[in-house]
Structures are given as structure tokens and as C-alpha cells.
Amino acid sequence: MRTSSIVSSLFCCCHLATSALPGKEPSAPDLTNQAWALRSSDGLLQRRDLQKIVEAQNRRDPQAIGSALSSPDPVLRARAAFAAGSLQAPILLPALTALLDDPDPKVRVDAAFALRQTPGADSQTLLDHLRKEADPIVQAMLLGALGFQGDCHSYEEVLKLKLPNQEVPFILCTIYYLQRDIVSQAGIEAMLALLDKKQASSIREHAAYFFYTLKRRQLKDPTLATRLATIVHSSSYQDPAVPYLLRYLASCQRDEDLALFKQWFRKGKNLRARSVAVESLGAFITRESARNLLLEALSDPEQHVAMTAAELLAASPLLTEKNVATIKAALQARRTNPSTHSFLWSILWKHGEKAYLQQLIAKITPEEGPLLLTALSAAPGIELAPFAPQIAAATAHRNPQVNLLTGIYLAERLARDPSEKSLEAFDHFLTKVRDHRVRGDALFELAHSLQDQLPAKERATRFHTYYKMLLAEGDHPSAGACLIILGATRDPDALPTLQSSLVHSNPIIREAAQHGLELAKNGTTKPIKNYILDFVPFLDPDWKLLQKYGRHPEMIFTTTLGDIVIQLDTEQAPVAVANLIAKVEAKNFDHLHVYRLVPNHVIQAGPPGNFGYRLRSEFTRIPKVEHSFGIGDLGKDTASQHIAITHLMRPHNEGKYTNLGLVTSGREIVKTVHFNEFIEKTTIRSNPTITE
């Protein structure tokens, strides 16, 4: 679809300033360095009445929240409005809308936040309040609410507004509209104007992200591409806006832009520009010249650049024998970035270099568990017998994350090879590993892998056997996982086990049996491996633990590269913060590996498996900006303890995840940390720079 033909005209004139606050740029950035509508302290850790509102939020109790919205105390009204943003209950919309006229701006901004999050908010009402609102923080949040909830008419009206010093919220508003396919030529022209060199770099970067979002929506326009290419050609190699513009240009696949991507790969002055330039070369991978540039990038010292090139090459069916020979020679001469190896090994395996991979795997030591599993995964169908001692060592590894990687590998392998020999390998793993968190994850992965490989009756028989074994051992979480899986098979012979488990003495078994019966009746609505937390209770806030560390504790990851320090916001996400503190105090975050790294997107880590509970989503006003810190999940109210740090702004993820802090030190480590980087230990401490 051409952008010029997109119906309706929406664009929001708002600057949600993620640029620095007026004054000096602080040398040690903290939450206030992101000039968003952050919540000021309301005394949550000392006031029991505010804590009761959080507890009602965690119970998902709209009646209790609704009562607090009419409290005579503005602090209670604001906290209740903020809590409503996590409930997302349409029944609260009238009361929240009424609070937009509250005399206290702190109440109004929390009400606007809740209306942003709650489906069904009236866009005309939001627009009317925006026109008369004088407080800039409330203005910014109302713009966000319009971007989330507004219709085509409100978009056209927002484009006409002139709100001083609100450029970034205006841009984000249009990005939110664009996520819902509301865009127009007038809105695009407004964004082009904000790319002007006279604008502040933060404004230009956000405006450029608008065009990256346009690319994500697959809206391409050759005329627009020409205009954006002109901007790129006139930009300096330090310009933070260029990477997002390159991504739009790559989606257009114009021949004349290939030289531009090559130029920015060679001369770009920041990591993101160079890695995005390499990513853009993927649009031209059919050409030998582009593949040669990607081969050159494999030895780049910047791992995001090298990884991006390796992943593109691994996905291409067009590699020639010469290309493969070049890759093998580079590996043998150790000229490749280590972060590329899993992709390059998979290339060699697909192109017949099986003996080479087998020799490489044989040299991996028991201590290199993650490396072993990465190498095995790069060689699908490899005979496991020669590596049985190494797999056994990974199963017995002192690090539970390595145990889990082993179980997931063995389970995933069964999707390709459901032979009895492979099933025996998984059974051996299950009996040797005693950690119920590891077992549960591995069992769900096995169920997912076997779903299309074995008949329902065979799957039910196997998981019934696992259930009896695990129940006899007293491993109730893993046994509960088996009940969920039994229900998902929809095999009639599983019903007696599920029904008899409804009266078991253990609450986890009873809850799992109930969910299993629901799946047996109605079937699954999502991949079976995503049901892992559905039968465990929700965690309650731990106020004593939170009071011990204060409003903004710091979480420190000590890696082999140095420390990464994250400042957490207890007042906005008390349950998630308490969960992390408890895990750190129990040393559950020690001796972990970064298990996911997506260049220019995110790194993820966290203890394996579930701990017998899950977390309610706590939607906060902390934005998804570069180096934001949050909890990963599989959808609303499915979080546990898997953490994520963003490499760049991700406004399209606003309001979808529990975001609870920002990296304040060690940002260079976040950019350079390797996949499977070892987290030696994790600590938590009070922040002495913040008055409690």
C-alpha cells in the first residue's frame, strides 16, 4: 500500500520527552533522566491504605479500585487510577474519565495513563481534555492515550494542535496510531518536518522511528524512499536517526540504496548504524556483492554487526560453494566473531561439513555446557551416541540453566526424531534432574515437540507415567505440568486421572487438574508450552521486603565484563520488584547465562523454570526506551522472573510488559555482552542517593 493512499489523517503533536530534562545532563543517568511522566513518591511503602490499593490491583478487584477513585484524598485517587491501568477494566472508564477534571494534576496524569491502557476510552473526550489541559505532563499522557485509543477523526484533530515543547510525545502518539494502521500523508509530512537538522537529536531520532514503524507495517512508497535517502546522504555518520531510516529504505529494496548500506557499514560511527546497515544488506542477498559484504562482516569486532551478518547468511539458500569455503576457512583461522559461530556451524552442517562439526563438538569440555548445546542444535539429526558422556555431564551440570538447556534440546530433537532411542534420552534426563523448575519447562517443551509426532493416546500414556513418577517423588509442580499436558491430549483415557486429582491434598495438583479438564473439554488456544504457569497462584506483594530496600533499589549483575547496575522502581511495580529481590537474595540469579540476544533489540536472562507462582502484569509509566529493564512474559499476567534489557527504544511495546527500571551503569556492557555471557553473581542494594 502506498502511504499517499492511506485513508484518514492522524498525527499527534506531542513530545513525550525522553531527552534529558532541562539543565545539565547527569553523568550517572537514573530514572529521572528519561523525562517521561514518572510517578513521584506517594508514600506507598509507609501507607497501609495505599498498599491495600496495590493488593486490590493484584487481585484484579475493580470494585475496590473504583471505590478508591472517589476518595477525598488525592493521593489515594491517584494511586487507584494508576492501579486501574493494570486492571484495564472497562467498567472503570466513567470514573477515570471524570478524574480528568480533578484539580490535582497528579490525579489527572494517572487517570490519563489508565485511559491509555483501558480499551474503550472515548477519543473525543480525550481530545477535549487535551485542548484545555495546561499541565505539560498531563498533556503528554493524554497524547499517549489518544495514540492508543483514538479514532481517525481524533488523529486528524491532533495533527492540528500546537502544543509547545511536546514534540516527542507528539511523535509517539502518531506511532501508537500507526500501530493500529491509522496514518495519513499529512502525518508523514509532519514527521518529515521533524527530521529537520535544526531539531534536537532526540526529536529527530523519534521521528525516524516513526518511519521504522511505517516499515514494520509494510507501508512502502518509492517517493518517500527518495526523500528519506536524501536525508541520509546529508547526515553525519554519528546521526542517531539514520539507522531507523535505513530500515525503511531496506524494505523498499531499491537498487540505488545498496551503495548507501555499504557506505554506512564501512563508515558509520556507532554500533547501531553499522549493524542496521548490515541488516539492510539482507534485502540484496541474492547478489554476490552483498554476500561478500556479509562475509566480511563476520569478522567485525562488534558482535551485533557480526551476528546480524551470520544470521542473514544462515537463512539464505543462495550460498555458493565458494561462500561456504570462505566461512570454513575463516572459522579455522579464528577470524570470525565468536557470536557468529552457532549460525556458521549450521551453514557448514547444511552444506555437508558433518565430519568437521562432529570433530568440533567432540572437543567441547563438560564445563562448556551452553557451547555444547549450541553446537548440537546447529547440527540437526546428528547421532547422539558419540556425545552421550557430554550430554550426561550437561544434565548433571551444577548450573540449573545448563540442565534446562539440555532438557529443551532433547525435547526439541524429538520433534524431528520421535524414535524410542530419543525418548529414552529424555527419560534419562528427567530421572537425573531433580529441580522441579527445570523439569516443568522441559516437560512442556516435550509436549510441544510431540504434539504432531505421536498420536494422542501414546502421548497421554507417556505423560501419565511421568505424572505417577513425579507425584510419588513429591514434585507437585512438575506433576501438575503433566496434568495440564494430559488434558491437552484430549484422550478419553486421561479423564479419570484428571478427575481424581481434583480432590488431591496439594492445591497445585487440584488447580492443574481443573485446568487440564478445561483443556480436555475445549482444546488449546495457544502453544502447549505456553501453559506452563497457568496452574500456579499469583504472587502477593511482600511489603517488609520492599521496605528493607526502599523506593529505588539497585540490582547489580556482575559479569566477566564488569557490572551492570539497574535502578528499580518499587512504587510502580512492587510485586515484580519484590520477586526480583527475593530471587537475588536466594542467589537464583547467580551463575546464569544470557540465553537470548537479538542485536538491536534485547538481551534476556533469568533463572530457569517456574517457582510455583506467577506475576500479575504491572503496567508502569516507565517507557520502553534504550536500556529499559523489564520482565518478559507470554502475555498479560504470565510473567515470572525472566528479565529483559532493551538495546533501543521500543515504543510499539509500550503498555504490554511490566517495565520496572533502567540501566544506570554498565550500558556499554549491555551493548557488548555475548550470547551465553556468564553472570557470576547478582546483588541487590538500597540506593543511598535517593531520599526515602
Which sequence spans correspond to the domains of the chain? 3-21+29-195, 543-685
> Cα 592 vs. chain centroid, distance in angstroms?
18
Reported as a single tens digit per residue, the pLDDT across 421-458 is 888 899 999 999 988 889 999 999 999 999 989 999 99
Would you place residue 367 in the very low, low, confident or very high pLDDT band (cuts 50, 70, 90)? confident
Q: Measured between alpha carbons, how far is 132 from 140 in angstroms, rounded to an integer? A: 13
DSSP string covering 136-199 = HHHHHHHHHHHHHH--HHHHHHHHH---TT-HHHHHHHHHHHHHTT---HHHHHHHHHHTSTTS
> If residue 660 lies in a helix (H) or strand (E), which one and from where to where?
strand 658-665
Reported as a single tens digit per residue, the pLDDT across 227-264 is 999 999 999 998 999 999 999 999 999 999 999 999 99
Q: Is 88 left (phi over 0), alpha (psi -120 to 50) or beta?
A: left
So what's the pLDDT on residue 417? 84
Better-scored residue on pLDDT, 219 or 211: 211
Place of cell 566461512: 327
Neighbours of 336 (CB within 10 A): 21
How much is the mean pLDDT over the chain? 89
Better-scored residue on pLDDT, 40 or 110: 110
Is the pLDDT confidence value at 35 over 90? no
In CATH terms, the fold of domain 543-685 is Cyclophilin (2.40.100)
So what's the pLDDT on residue 271? 82
Give the lowest-confidence range in 101-105, 158-162, 674-678. 674-678
| Cα–Cα separations (whole angstroms), residue 208 to 2, 223, 346 | 18, 16, 35
Task: Tell me the mean pLDDT in the region 127-134.
Answer: 97
**pLDDT over 90 for what percent of the chain?**
72
Q: Measured between alpha carbons, how far is 153 from 8 in angstroms, rounded to an integer? A: 8
What are the cell numbers at 501? 486429582
φ, ψ of residue 312 in degrees (nearest 5): -65, -45
Give the lowest-confidence range in 2-11, 52-61, 66-75. 2-11
Would you place residue 23 in the very low, low, confident or very high pLDDT band (cuts 50, 70, 90)? very low
Better-scored residue on pLDDT, 539 or 36: 539
Is the pLDDT confidence value at 4 over 50? no
DSSP string covering 185-249 = HHHHHHHHHHTSTTS-HHHHHHHHHHHHHHHHTT---HHHHHHHHHHHHTS-TT-TTHHHHHHHH
Q: Is 218 left (phi over 0), alpha (psi -120 to 50) or beta?
A: left
So what's the pLDDT on residue 689? 66
What are the cell numbers at 601? 533489540
Q: Which DSSP category does 451 fall into?
A: T
Reported as a single tens digit per residue, the pLDDT across 292-307 is 999 999 999 888 999 9
Is the pLDDT confidence value at 15 over 70? no
Dihedral over Cα of 198, 202, 207, 209: its sign: positive
What are the cell numbers at 274? 553499522
So what's the pLDDT on residue 686? 93
Contact 257, 250 (CB under 8 A): yes
* Strand 678-685, strand 658-665: pairing: unpaired
Q: Measured between alpha carbons, how far is 366 from 392 in angstroms, rounded to an integer? A: 9
So what's the pLDDT on residue 209? 94
Task: Tell me the mean pLDDT in the region 67-72.
Answer: 98
Side-chain half-sphere exposure of 232, counting CA atoms within 13 A? 28
Q: Residue by residue, what is the 3-state secondary structure of 487-537?
A: HHHCCHHHHHHHHHHHHCCCHHHHHHHHHHHHHHHHCCCCCHHHHCCCCCC
* Strand 596-598, strand 592-593: pairing: unpaired
φ, ψ of residue 559 in degrees (nearest 5): -115, 175
**C-alpha angle with apex 578: 572 to 584, nearest 5 degrees?**
130
Place of cell 563438538: 361
Side-chain half-sphere exposure of 489, counting CA atoms within 13 A? 29
**Mapping DSSP to helix (H, G, I), strand (E, B) and coil, where does residue 639 land?**
strand
Reported as a single tens digit per residue, the pLDDT across 313-359 is 999 999 999 999 999 999 999 999 888 999 999 999 999 999 999 99
So what's the pLDDT on residue 633? 85
Question: Residue 261 class from Cβ within 10 Å (0-12 exposed, 13-18 middle, 19+ buried)?
Answer: buried
So what's the pLDDT on residue 31? 44
Question: Residue 221 class from Cβ within 10 Å (0-12 exposed, 13-18 middle, 19+ buried)?
Answer: buried
Q: Measured between alpha carbons, how far is 386 from 249 in angstroms, rounded to an integer? A: 48
Give the lowest-confidence range in 164-173, 274-283, 313-322, 670-679. 670-679
What are the cell numbers at 186? 499529512
Q: Measured between alpha carbons, how far is 81 from 67 in angstroms, rounded to an integer? A: 11
> What CA dihedral angle connects 208, 210, 213 and 214, to 10 degrees?
-100
Reported as a single tens digit per residue, the pLDDT across 462-492 is 999 999 999 999 999 999 999 999 999 999 9
> What CA dihedral angle connects 157, 165, 552 and 597, to 10 degrees?
70
What does R_g of the chain's alpha carbons equal in angstroms?
Answer: 26
Q: What's the one-letter identity of residue 86? A: S
Place of cell 524512499: 225
| Bridge partners of residue 563, in order along the sequence | 558
Place of cell 548445546: 373
**Mapping DSSP to helix (H, G, I), strand (E, B) and coil, where does residue 53 land?**
helix
What are the cell numbers at 545? 521486603
Helices (H), 316-435: 321-332, 341-350, 354-362, 369-377, 388-395, 400-416, 420-432
So what's the pLDDT on residue 22? 30
Q: Is 201 left (phi over 0), alpha (psi -120 to 50) or beta?
A: alpha
What are the cell numbers at 508? 497445585
So what's the pLDDT on residue 37? 55
Contact 10, 143 (CB under 8 A): no
Q: Measured between alpha carbons, how far is 143 from 48 in angstroms, rounded to an integer? A: 33
**Mapping DSSP to helix (H, G, I), strand (E, B) and coil, where does residue 565 land?**
strand
Q: Measured between alpha carbons, how far is 484 from 200 in angstroms, rounded to an integer? A: 54
> Cα 418 vs. chain centroid, distance in angstroms?
32
**C-alpha angle with apex 419: 416 to 425, nearest 5 degrees?**
95
Would you place residue 690 in the very low, low, confident or very high pLDDT band (cuts 50, 70, 90)? low
* Residues comprising the chain, all counted: 692
Would you place residue 222 in the very low, low, confident or very high pLDDT band (cuts 50, 70, 90)? confident
Contacts of 600 (CB under 8 A, 6+ apart): 243, 272, 275, 276, 279, 304, 308, 647, 648
What are the cell numbers at 337? 566473531
So what's the pLDDT on residue 116? 97
Contact 661, 622 (CB under 8 A): yes
So what's the pLDDT on residue 560? 87
Q: Measured between alpha carbons, how far is 673 from 165 in angstroms, rounded to an integer? A: 36
Q: Measured between alpha carbons, how far is 534 from 512 in angstroms, rounded to an integer? A: 8
Give the lowest-confidence range in 84-88, 225-229, 259-263, 558-562. 558-562
**Mapping DSSP to helix (H, G, I), strand (E, B) and coil, where does residue 322 land?**
helix
Q: Which DSSP category does 590 fall into?
A: T
What class has domain 3-21+29-195? mainly alpha
